[in-house]
Amino acid sequence: MTEAYTESELLSVLSARELKDGQVVFAGIGIPLLAAVLAQRSHCPGLTILFEGGVVGASVEPGRLPPSTNDQRGAKRSNMVLGSSEVLLLMQRGYVDVGFMGGAQIDQYGNLNSSLINGTGDKAAVRLPGSGGGNDIASLTNLIVSIKHEKRRFVERVDFVTSPGWLAGRDARRASGLSEGGAFRVITDLAVLGFDDETKRMTVRALNPGVTKQNVQDHTGFELLFDRDMSITEPPTADELRLLRSLDPERILLS
């Protein structure tokens, strides 16, 4: 019998499974951090975790998750601590494989918005935190996005492109001067999605247990593509949940 798990636990486990041993991952705080540390402590012992605050090779202690990328708990036993600009330069030099982010909106080409909703400038109905290093991460790495699957988040066109995915699709990203990286995976509470090789439109690769194609489409504000070899994701195992919960015993992020 499958053990019960929360939405945050599902997102963390599915995201961790996308990482490979030996990769270098630029992880944000929250689900991206949980997923990266889970992967590092399970199937990716050689995974190198970077934080925007300057930490290279983070080794996070269970139960002591840093609340921000600048918190010194993330620096303990790390390989080195650099300035933020130097960490971003590592991406420009091609040393980072995967970027891990979230956002308020995502569109059919994987563009992310974490800046403005409904309007521009001071006239926007909602002002969000903005880019930080998000634009750099999306521009220079293979991007994994972890996000709740809601129609208000999955929109046909984002209100503002904070972090570029495949822009307008096809070769638009490369034509804009972004020759590396691109939106790679979108992990949600309903499905695991990728992008069509030719059109770069969002494509459902796997449905989560108990979810139908119609469920996913009903929670999406644009027409999805469905992979002809679409599968069903394996639910989190007891070992994955045990390890994940040990990282956040007070369930600050896993509630």
Which is it for strands 126-127 and 116-117: parallel, antiparallel or unpaired?
antiparallel
pLDDT band at 1 (very low <50, low <70, confident <90, very high): low
Helices H / strands E in the chain, number of each: 7, 14
Q: What pLDDT, on the 0 to 100 scale, is given for residue 73?
A: 79
Q: What is the pLDDT of residues 64-121, one digit of tens each?
A: 888 877 777 788 889 999 988 899 999 999 999 999 988 899 999 999 999 999 877 7
Which is it for strands 142-146 and 182-187: parallel, antiparallel or unpaired?
parallel
129 has a pLDDT exceeding 70: yes
Q: What is the pLDDT of residues 133-156, one digit of tens each?
A: 899 999 999 999 999 999 999 999
Bridge partner list, 204: 193, 226
Residue 45 CA: distances (Å) to CA of 19, 21, 22, 39, 210:
11, 6, 8, 8, 32
Q: Which long-range contacts (CB under 8 A, 24 or more apart) does 63-67 make?
A: 63/246, 63/247, 63/248, 63/249, 63/250, 65/33, 65/34, 65/37, 65/247, 65/248, 65/252, 65/253, 66/29, 66/33, 67/29
Evaluate whether 29 touches 55 at the Cβ level (below 8 Å). no
Q: Is the dihedral of CA 77, 79, 83, 85 positive or negative?
A: negative
Verify whether residue 156 is a known catalytic residue.
no
Closest listed residue to residue 224, CA positions, set 203, 247, 207: 203
Domains of the chain, first to last = 7-247 (3.40.1080.10)
254 has a pLDDT exceeding 90: no
Q: What pLDDT, on the 0 to 100 scale, is given for residue 42?
A: 96
Catalytic residue selected from 9, 18, 52, 240: 52
Q: What is the pLDDT of residues 215-247, one digit of tens each?
A: 999 999 999 999 999 999 999 999 999 999 999
pLDDT band at 28 (very low <50, low <70, confident <90, very high): confident
Q: What pLDDT, on the 0 to 100 scale, is given for residue 68?
A: 79
157 has a pLDDT exceeding 70: yes
pTM of structure: 0.94
Task: Please work out, in degrees rounded to the nearest 5, the angle formed at the alpha carbon of residue 196 by the alpha carbons of 139 and 233.
Answer: 100
Q: For residue 50, give the DSSP letter.
A: E
Q: What pLDDT, on the 0 to 100 scale, is given for residue 205?
A: 98
Q: Is the dihedral of CA 244, 250, 253, 254 positive or negative?
A: positive
Closest listed residue to residue 19, CA positions, set 3, 42, 2: 42
Q: Which amino acid is at 44?
A: C
Q: What pLDDT, on the 0 to 100 scale, is given for residue 149?
A: 97
Evaluate whether 249 touches 61 at the Cβ level (below 8 Å). no
Q: What pLDDT, on the 0 to 100 scale, is given for residue 220?
A: 98
Q: What is the pLDDT of residues 174-203, one digit of tens each?
A: 999 999 999 999 999 999 999 999 999 999
Greater pLDDT, 76 or 15: 15
